[in-house]
Amino acid sequence: MKKLLSFALLMLLGATTIFAQNSKKGNYVGKGGTPHEVVKGTNVTVSYGRPYKKGRDIFGGLEAYGKVWRVGADEATEITFDKGLVFGGRQVSAGTYTLFATPDKNEWTIILNTTLGQWGAYSHDASKDLVQVKVPVKHLDKVVEQLTITPKDKELIIEWDKTSVTVPMQF
């Protein structure tokens, strides 16, 4: 009887561990309490941490100009394309990539990197960048309190604070 009870406990513990690992495929709250979201558009899925502004100066403050940023919080943002496309004028094959950006006051460099599973941008390796695309900054009148990434049919929009950038996409 002890062996059966031990076996049942072991199976329950294993199932709980597997469930916990798989739960990150959907929306969840990260280790630091940051909400994470999986957003699916036509042929595009984005998985990212959604930090809040909380009264802080974001670009040029919390996120320094000229420094590579994970485009989110906690784990680096990942973007999956269901089929090949032209991303900001550059040909990209179907697949999953890490999405980074180097913000500046009037222009951002959007980066698709081939190394997955990164934490933040601390180990960003530019030699693994598939593409780097320059896009203009649009300064917004209203504050976007929580980082928002919106994949649309022909564009990827990133908004936070009073900043918006759009990357054109063609499938």
Domain total in the chain: 1
Instruction: Say if residue 28 is exposed, middle or buried (CB neighbours under 10 Å; 0-12, 13-18, 19+).
Output: middle
Task: Assess if residue 82 is contained within a domain.
Answer: yes
Using the CB atoms, write b or e for 121-155: b if 16+ within 10 Å: beebeeebbbbbbebebeeeeeebeebebebeeee
pLDDT band at 171 (very low <50, low <70, confident <90, very high): very high
pLDDT at 20: 41
Task: Assess if residue 1 is contained within a domain.
Answer: no
pLDDT tens digits for 90-113?
A: 999 999 999 999 999 999 999 999
pLDDT tens digits for 31-76?
A: 555 678 888 888 999 999 999 999 999 999 999 999 999 999 999 9
Task: Assess if residue 132 is contained within a domain.
Answer: yes
- Contact partners, residue 78, CB within 8 Å, separation at least 6: 46, 47, 48, 96, 97, 98, 99, 116
pTM here is 0.81
**Average of pLDDT values for 13-38?**
55
> Looking at the predicted structure, is the pLDDT value of residue 24 above 50?
no
Task: Assess if residue 9 is contained within a domain.
Answer: no
pLDDT at 35: 73
Domain span at 49: 30-170
Task: Assess if residue 146 is contained within a domain.
Answer: yes
Whole-number average pLDDT of the chain: 87
Greater confidence (21 vs 139) lies with 139
Task: Assess if residue 3 is contained within a domain.
Answer: no
Task: Assess if residue 14 is contained within a domain.
Answer: no
pLDDT at 165: 98
pLDDT at 80: 97
Task: Assess if residue 19 is contained within a domain.
Answer: no
> Looking at the predicted structure, is the pLDDT value of residue 17 above 60?
no
pLDDT at 25: 53
What percentage of residues in the chain have a pLDDT greater than 70?
81
